Chains A and B, each alone.
Chain A
Amino acid sequence: MSNSETKIEIKHLYKIFGDDPDTMLQKVRDGVTKDELNDQYNHVLGLSDINLKMPAKGIQVVMGLSGSGKSTLIRHINRLIEPTTGEVWIDGENVLEMNDKTLREFRRNRASMVFQKFALLPHRTVMENTIYGLEIQGMGEKEAEKQAAYWIDRVGLAGYEENYPGQLSGGMQQRVGLARALATDADILLMDEAFSALDPLIRTDMQNILLDLQQELHKTIVFITHDLEEALRIGDQIAILRDGEVIQQGTPQQIVLRPKDDYIADFTKDINRGRVIQLKTIMKAPNDTAGPELSGEMLVEDAAQLVTESPSSQARVTNDAGDVIGVVGINDLIRAMARPDIESRLEEL
């Protein structure tokens, strides 16, 4: 993903909560920390010098624990929160400089949002909720309902059109939230802890729905979560936020294999590496031994079974064109899944 084009670029974004953010901004730039700002000046540092490039048509995950500023960050992308200073560039336009009207048009047509607590309109049915964004766009009722019906079907809620949100389970309510966001046809999808309020099983379900849809829709998705497992599973790019600062960004593999500091290492140590690391990351130079040919992007965990069944206990790794670019043996796979320090052998990553 590293060389794909950037859709959303955040530059030097600061957000300070309190009575006099501008004065405090100078102090923060001069090196006052979040804790000092809180204790001595009674201001809260929400975001501090955020710089992020989010890939077009990819899923950018922003991960952090509560209080890290991740929900504040996503609300700057559609400006539900005004920044203290900074720039958010989308398609060559700075969202933070838009006037009210342009901003409304931007929110109507170019960026839709899914919320942690669903935020559905309780007095409207599933259908009426799904057409909400289209209604605001000014689309006629017939056309809007046709479009909405398609998305209700896609998220698996066909037959529930006339139900009220209060009659649905959490997972189903969030499907409505997703359908409502997709219906507007915006190419940016902002998801604020969209699956955090759901049971683990339903959460996996929703992740699958999202990944399936993304395969064909190729939207630019910004996904906020506090769950590293979720971040690694769905993210093309991950940015880790702590105390309002980005402390590491990279692909899931980079985060797992090369945590930037102890804080992140602590997070990643319990992760199932087999589900994150790809074959091309751990392969060795090709040799003549036979074996099944596997894609370099296959995950270690998926390859393990196939390699075990191969008589040579080895597989040949291919690139997108189908050429063999390396081999992995069963031992390489086991080593990759185990927790020990393998980073030293992964310099080329």
Chain B
Amino acid sequence: MDWLTEFPELGRRDMRDFRKGIDQGFKDFTRTYGEDIESFFEPLLQFLIWLEKLLLATPWPLFIAIVCVLAWFASRSLKIVIGSAISLFLIGFLGMWEDTMSTVSIIVVCTMLCIGLGLPIGILMSRSDRAQAIVTPILDVMQTIPSFVYLIPVVMLLGIGKVPGLISVVIYAIPPMIRLTNLGIRLVDKEVLEAADAFGASPWQKLVQVQIPLALPNIFAGVNQTIMMSLAMVVIASMIGVTGLGQPVLKAISNQYLAMGLLNGLAIVALAIIFDRISQSYGKRLQSYRGGQGE
């Protein structure tokens, strides 16, 4: 009755060969294509570095002013504007300005990538049930797999640095963008779509004039989630060389610097709240037409 208590495992040697096979295969792949892939991402790296330099070169009062103006136009709320200004000032006052600028630049690039990739994928998913059936499980994997696991192949392929960090942040942060775009478009009122058809709208006209505008609140919730998740990922990505607020946190963990960890952690929280309030209130303002008197 051994077979009941002993699990029929793959033999130890087979297992080792199996793992070696995979590792070797990926190493070969890396050796063959690594450089091509790296040069493919070169423009992205240049852009990221350029943006980071730009942000660092921007005088701090100007940066705070820009954020305040953005906050005002997005939310029309004085509370959010003043809150953003104070938190940014405190971050700078406590010596975290440069790290914050690095983090902001990577978040900005990451969000742009997530929108640029996620929006079309989400639209594709919403238009085809088959695409949805294929993409959904991939997104499930991306959201549940521990992020350290996909750091490994990314590092093997591209080494340590900004680009692999960026890629892992995008992998982590893009699923809500895709999901909510898909959901938003699928939730558009069927009767409004029928009206668009009845007036002879082409599929493209329907998408641009009806589906995307009506899905915008959901799409914006997706953007908001994406920003939040990339901020959360910044600390982990700092393990593979992403500069910014994550690195001091990492240093603080290994050296048990409580204050340092706390301050940098709180700076991330402050950034998150600023981004969140701005993008959320903009999303809400997008659907202000839904309110009003009567039915």
Contacts and interface: CB of A to CB of B under 8 A. Distances in A.
A167 B294 contact: yes
B144 interface: no
A7 to B, nearest CB: 18
B206 to A, nearest CB: 9
Contacts of A132: 199, 209
A122 B214 contact: yes
Contacts of A105: 200
Contacts of B194: 80, 115, 119
Nearest to B199: A133
A167 B294 CA distance: 6
Contacts of A17: none
A115 B294 contact: no
B295 interface: yes
A166 interface: yes
B292 A166 contact: yes
A33 to B, nearest CB: 30
Interface string A76-120: 001010000000000000000000000111111100110101011
A135 interface: yes
Nearest to B210: A121
A122 B290 contact: yes
A206 B188 CA distance: 28
Interface in B197-233: 197-202, 205, 209-210, 213-214, 216
Interface string B162-203: 000000000000000000000000000101101101111110
A170 interface: yes
A26 interface: no
B218 to A, nearest CB: 13
A106 B200 contact: yes
Contacts of B290: 122, 166
A168 B201 contact: no
A1 interface: no
A134 B192 CA distance: 17
A169 B294 CA distance: 6
Given A121-B192, A123-B213, A168 B198 contact: no
A249 interface: no
Contact of B295 (A106, A164, A169): A169
A184 interface: yes
Contacts of A65: none
B291 interface: yes
5 closest A-B pairs by beta carbon, nearest first, are A107-B200, A108-B200, A167-B292, A119-B195, A113-B198
Interface of B: 189, 191-192, 194-195, 197-202, 205, 209-210, 213-214, 216, 287, 289-295
18 contacts: A80-B198, A104-B202, A109-B200, A113-B199, A121-B209, A122-B214, A123-B289, A132-B199, A136-B199, A136-B200, A136-B205, A137-B200, A164-B289, A164-B292, A167-B293, A168-B294, A169-B295, A184-B199
